[in-house]
Amino acid sequence: MNEFFVVRAVRRTGIGRAAAVELLGRYPGRWESRSGENPGRGPVRAPRRTKRSVRTWREDRRPVPGKPHLPPDVWITSTS
């Protein structure tokens, strides 16, 4: 899967988490997810809430290739 996006109209309803849990259940294995850092809100928060559905979980920050002036991206690596 290349992208996962939840439209604003259904955010915070649990549908994105339900879809992610269903996806991880259907296709178990190693997953990586990248989110740009958005302090206090945004795309990093949602994957963190899904971590209860996976066996292992690691979060780290990696520099954006070729763009040292940008804050690092947050990468989540998990195994379901």
Confidence tier at 33 by pLDDT (50, 70, 90):
confident
Question: How confident is the model at residue 50, as a pLDDT?
Answer: 64
Work out whether the CA dihedral 41, 44, 46, 50 comes out positive or negative: negative
Question: How confident is the model at residue 69, as a pLDDT?
Answer: 93
Torsion of CA 60, 61, 66, 71, to 10 degrees: 170
d(CA 43, CA 5): 9
Rounded to two decimals, the pTM is 0.61
Which residue carries 């991880």 as its tokens? 24
8 Å CB contact between 22 and 33: no
- pLDDT, tens digit, 9 for 90 and up, residues 34-79: 876 555 444 555 566 666 666 688 888 899 899 999 888 888 888 8
